[in-house]
Amino acid sequence: MSSRISGTIEHILAAQKPLFAFFNESAWAHRDPADPENADFVAGNPQDVVMPEFVEALQRATVPTGKDHYAYKFSEPEAQAAAAAGLRERRGVPFEDADIAMVDGAFAGLIVSIRVVCDPGDEVIFLSPPWFFYEALIFASGASPVRVKLEPPSFDLNVDGIAAAITERTRAVIVNSPHNPTGRIYTPEELRRLARVLSEASARNGRDIFLVSDEAYSRIVFDDGGFRSPTEFYPNSFLVYTYGKQLLTPGQRLGYVALPPQMPERAEMRSALMLAQLAVAGHGVPNAVMQYALADLDAMSIDIKALQRRRDRMVEGLRAAGYELLGRPEGTFYLLPRCPIEDDIAFTEQLAERKVFVLPGTVVELPGTFRVSLTANDEMVERALPIFAEVAKG
Ligand code: PMP
């Protein structure tokens, strides 16, 4: 690689090779995005036009109310109030407005949280299969990523694995529930066991270990299944949220980091978060218009029941076509079928020849599987199911 590129970026490029190969070189990368025959199940991207009420809320929020409407923004009090009220109402936990730091999505929320507590050389544990950017985000924050495996097909929270991976340098553990890509929602028992392990290890180390709770999908939950926030069980937690999933508008960035009310010394942490927001190359600085609209947006959601019907249709359709599914998602956008052949990259390219696009499991550290995003629309599902069946037979 060129010596003009930093060691950090080179390291990330090497670690994320399957991801960048898929983004740059796959048949999906070379598709004609305007082809109406595409059935695109690759990412959590919208395949239908956005909800009109989202557009209306933003239109109202763009009208300037004064000279500061488009000034630099940190956390706008109205946005903090809307986010905290939403959390109080849905979670029954007394989050305080001032403990919400608005950020530019979960990407920024994760980096800011890690930056606030980690020094170079500190270790951050993440779980594999992961959301494919964790390793890069941890590394880019100056910390060292440590991987703990989740075992198929249940993909239970591997608390013993986390306990075994903890060292004196461990500073944070990222937990993602509902979990991308397995769709698992961790149970209160699993979260209690994790909290016990983290408390004991913090005491042993004489240094706090923080829980970074990636709750990007906490409002994408099926069967009215009880999502419980990992932050309820462990005081030294950062709750990281993004509006990109509930609104299915990942390009229009806004999210937050919330400090749970039981976190000790929150005032210090609030200021540290604000500093870290600036220090993350400006990416932590939240969008003005999205914040003005937040009182409307927080209450808005894509149709979860429709998404659940699509999950059911895909689970049934893929099973009928002969695919084995690793679990049945309790939340998130994703399904994880096993490939009929070992080589998931070759298999997903075969689907791509028929304009059905899915993510090879190798990208999410699960070779031999593929990930299907339910954000494809219903027409794509009906067009794709016979193709899934044919390619499985072939
Ligand atoms: N965490 C998880 C688990 C995700 O799946 C994603 C997006 N795919 C993110 C964080 C990042 O969300 P955003 O782009 O809205 O910041």
Q: Locate tokens 């970026």: which residue?
A: 9
Pocket test of ligand 1: the residue of 127, 238, 242 to mutate, having most ligand atoms within 8 Å of its CB, is 242
Backbone angles phi, psi at 332, to 5 degrees: 75, -175
Strand, coil or helix: 149: strand
| Orientation angle between helical segments 266-279 and 106-117, nearest 10 degrees | 120
Residue 111 CA: distances (Å) to CA of 163, 174, 273: 23, 11, 11
In 3D space, the residue among 369, 378, 309 whose CA is nearest the CA of residue 336 turns out to be 369
- Is pLDDT above 70 for 1? no
Cα distance between residue 76 and residue 286, in whole Å: 9
pLDDT for 2: 62
Which amino acid, 376? A
What is the distance, to the nearest Å, from the Cα of residue 201 to the centroid of all Cα atoms in its chain?
Answer: 26
pLDDT for 52: 98
Which amino acid, 113? S
Measured in angstroms, how far is the CA atom of residue 215 from the centroid of ligand 1?
Answer: 9
In 3D space, the residue among 96, 62, 60, 65 whose CA is nearest the CA of residue 81 turns out to be 96
pTM over 0.95: yes
pLDDT for 224: 83
Q: For residue range 210-251, what is the model confidence (pLDDT) as tens digits?
A: 999 999 999 999 998 789 999 999 999 999 999 999 999 999
Q: For residue range 290-338, what is the model confidence (pLDDT) as tens digits?
A: 999 999 999 999 999 999 999 999 999 999 999 999 999 999 999 999 9
Whether the Cβ atoms of residue 135 and residue 125 lie closer than 8 Å to each other: no
Cα distance between residue 323 and residue 388, in whole Å: 9
- The percent of residues above 70 in pLDDT, for the chain, comes to 99
- Is pLDDT above 80 for 282? no
In angstroms, how far is the first alpha carbon of the chain from the final one?
39
- Residue 169, judged by CB atoms within 10 A of its CB (0-12, 13-18, 19+), counts as middle
pLDDT for 283: 76
Ligand 1 atom nearest the C-alpha of 104 is: 16
| Residues near ligand 1 (Cβ within 6 A) | 44, 105-107, 131, 176, 180, 214, 216, 242, 244, 250, 255
Ligand 1 atom nearest the C-alpha of 176 is: 3
Task: Give the pair of three-digit tokens for residue 268.
Answer: 């210090």
Task: Give the pair of three-digit tokens for residue 19.
Answer: 């991801």
Whether the Cβ atoms of residue 347 and residue 22 lie closer than 8 Å to each other: no
- Residue 264, judged by CB atoms within 10 A of its CB (0-12, 13-18, 19+), counts as exposed
pLDDT for 47: 96
Cα distance between residue 217 and residue 129, in whole Å: 16
Measured in angstroms, how far is the CA atom of residue 106 from the centroid of ligand 1?
Answer: 5
Ligand 1 atom nearest the C-alpha of 107 is: 16
Measured in angstroms, how far is the CA atom of residue 31 from the centroid of ligand 1?
Answer: 24
Q: For residue range 340-360, what is the model confidence (pLDDT) as tens digits?
A: 999 999 999 999 999 999 999
- Residue 327, judged by CB atoms within 10 A of its CB (0-12, 13-18, 19+), counts as middle
